[in-house]
Homo-oligomer: A and B are copies of this chain.
Amino acid sequence: MNSAASDSAANRGAVNETRLRVRYAETDQMGVVYHSNHFIWFEVGRVELLRQLGFSYRDMERVDGRYIAVAEAKCRYRAPVRYDEEVVVRTRLRNVRESVIHFSYELLRGDDGSLIAEGETTHIVTDENMRIAELQEKYLKAFRAALGKTGPAH
């Protein structure tokens, strides 16, 4: 982590906001979104953050042979979210090393910006055989730039 850095003006590029609408299929009989769906939304945000940085996760897999496997995922549920609500997924790149990437997330209500949930995921970069691999330099460079880092990864 490096909260100080990631909140600075220097790495505004490391944050993405994307919107989605709650689907009926995502609700459960409690009348709210079932809790595993928040992790799917985190992933939607992650992909859009990569796109904002100039990358397509699809090509990362298909062209560059790099996969971002989830090593750890966590979510704290702050308030229920219901069918047809608009949700803002705010995704932040927290840290990156050759083979590890760390993101954090906030899910916010589209109408009033109130907090629905927050979470974090840690990822291991692998090749197509699921062996740990290093991200290619173009990714590392862009990720570090987004994080406002100019020195070598650490």
With contact pairs A77-B69, A83-B58 given, residues A29 and B24 touching in the complex (Cβ less than 8 Å): yes
Question: Is the contact region of chain A dominated by helix, strand, or loop, or is it mixed?
Answer: mixed
Rounded to whole Å, the gap between the CB of A75 and the closest CB of chain B is 5
Across the interface, A84 reaches (CB within 8 A) one of B30, B47, B69, B74, namely B47
Q: Which residues of B contact A69 (CB under 8 A)?
A: 30, 77, 80
Contact B84 A76 (CB under 8 A): no
A148–B29 Cα distance when bound, in Å, is 33
A73–B36 Cα distance when bound, in Å, is 9
Residues of A with Cβ closer than 8 Å to B? Answer: 23-25, 27-32, 34-37, 39-40, 43-44, 47, 56-58, 61, 67, 69-77, 80, 82-84, 130
Q: Which residues of B contact A84 (CB under 8 A)?
A: 47, 56-58
Rounded to whole Å, the gap between the CB of A133 and the closest CB of chain B is 14
A70–B61 Cα distance when bound, in Å, is 25
Q: Which residues of B contact A71 (CB under 8 A)?
A: 76-77
